Amino acid sequence: MNIISLFSEIEKVDPEVYGRFDSRRRVFQHMAGLGGRLAAAALPLALGSLFNKAYAGATATQATVIEVLQFALVLEHLEANFYTAALGNTSITSALSANNNRALNTIKTDETNHVTFLRGAITQAGATPVAPAPADFDYTGSQGGTRAALFADVLTNAATMLAVAQALEDTGVRAYKGSAADLMNNSSTNPVLEAALNIHSVEARHASRLRTMRRGGLMPANDRASFVAAGTNPSSSPKSWVSGIDNGGPAPTATRPVYDAGSPAADFPAESNTMQGANPARDITALLMGAVTGLSATAAGAAASEAFDEPLDMATVKAIARNFVKTGTPTFALLA
């Protein structure tokens, strides 16, 4: 077996083959060491193991780095324009406390900064950033009047606006997590991956803050985001984190896909997933019940799902986002 020729042939179809293993020099140092310790008959087995590790999960990665960045940029435009439109309406801002208005303006600024960063990253990579027009979006969910509105009063009713905001932020959290594998597979994108993870954590904090606002009420007493609004049942109020599939989200008929499994479900399980890893011993529900005396299966399952967020595939996220884009527009085509 001519190992040098083997790698040379692979390099013709996969120029990054060496990056998948390690540096070129260390690959050959490693193979030289194997050759000195293994019989010739065992060398193919060692090579097989090496290639399996190098290309594990590669077939599941379908998007290039630029595609991931453009995809993220569309989502950030979707969110930034949403907050701009909502907070530009006094029927929304007048129904919210000063603290809640400040929080929403901070979230809007964050989303605008994400747009600026992603545009810069795409330009620096030599591509032209997508530029969705604000007029392309329709946050009522009617896709420009082509179907019945999902959230008819989203830009006039503060409660509806916060519910939609929560669903959008929850979608963003899962979208960034789902795209991490595409960025990890390219050894040259570590800075981009780090930035994406930084945005991912901020999106999660946005989602948590919005849940707290919805749970505390639009105008909580003494302008404080108390966790239980007067006259409401604490057990029915939204938690500040996702539990199970979140009862389908703030508007189950329309928002359930935000919390359900993606495609394929084995790779993108629902938020109710309690199995972290393929090994049955990693069923967090069973671990909790074994560790906490008297803990019911229901309570353990809820706690297990709350401890982990799940990724969501690009196709499912695009389908969710299309609900808020007018059909026939360039932005709708970007999400096809």
Cβ count near 220 (within 10 Å): 21
Cα–Cα distance, 68 to 128 (Å, whole number): 13
Instruction: Pull the structure tokens for residue 225.
Output: 């985001």
Which of 56, 78, 95 finishes a domain?
Answer: 56
Compare 46 and 208 and report the one with higher pLDDT. Answer: 208
Mean confidence (pLDDT) of the chain: 81
Q: Give the best-scoring range by mean pLDDT among 93-107, 178-192, 215-229, 286-300.
A: 93-107
d(CA 196, CA 198): 5
Is 17 inside any structural domain? yes
Position 222 pLDDT exceeds 60? no
Q: What share of the chain is helix, strand, coil (3-state, %, to 5)?
A: 65, 0, 35
Are 10 and 103 contained in the same domain? no
pLDDT band at residue 290, thresholds of 50, 70 and 90? Answer: confident
pLDDT in tens, 300-335: 998 999 999 999 999 999 999 999 999 999 999 999
Phi and psi, residue 283, nearest 5° = -70, 105
Peptide bond into 280 cis (omega under 30): no
Beta strand ranges found along the chain (DSSP E): none
Does the residue 292 lie in any domain? no
Asked if pLDDT for residue 32 goes beyond 90, the answer is no
Contact (CB, 8 A) for 106 and 134: no
pLDDT greater at residue 113 or residue 292: 113
Query: In the prediction, which pLDDT does 257 show?
Result: 97
Most confident region among 52-56, 58-62, 239-243, 276-280 by mean pLDDT: 239-243
- Domain membership of residue 303 (yes or no) is no
pLDDT at position 38 is 45
pLDDT higher for 22 or 164? 164
Domain boundary pick from 35, 56, 77: 56
Residue 62: per-residue pLDDT: 54
- How many distinct structural domains can be found in the chain? 2
52: pLDDT strictly greater than 60: no
Amino acid identity, position 272: S
> Taking CA 117 as the corner, what is the angle to CA 81 and CA 114, rounded to the nearest 5 degrees?
40
Residue of higher predicted confidence among 11 and 308 = 308
| CA pseudo-torsion sign 199, 200, 203, 205 | negative
In this prediction, residues 254-278 reach a mean pLDDT of 91
Q: Are residues 121 and 236 in the same domain?
A: yes
Q: DSSP class of residue 309? A: -
What integer pLDDT is reported at residue 186 of this predicted model? Answer: 59
pLDDT at 42: 47
Q: Does the pLDDT at position 158 exceed 90?
A: yes
Domain of 259? 65-273+308-334
Q: In this structure, is residue 255 part of a structural domain?
A: yes
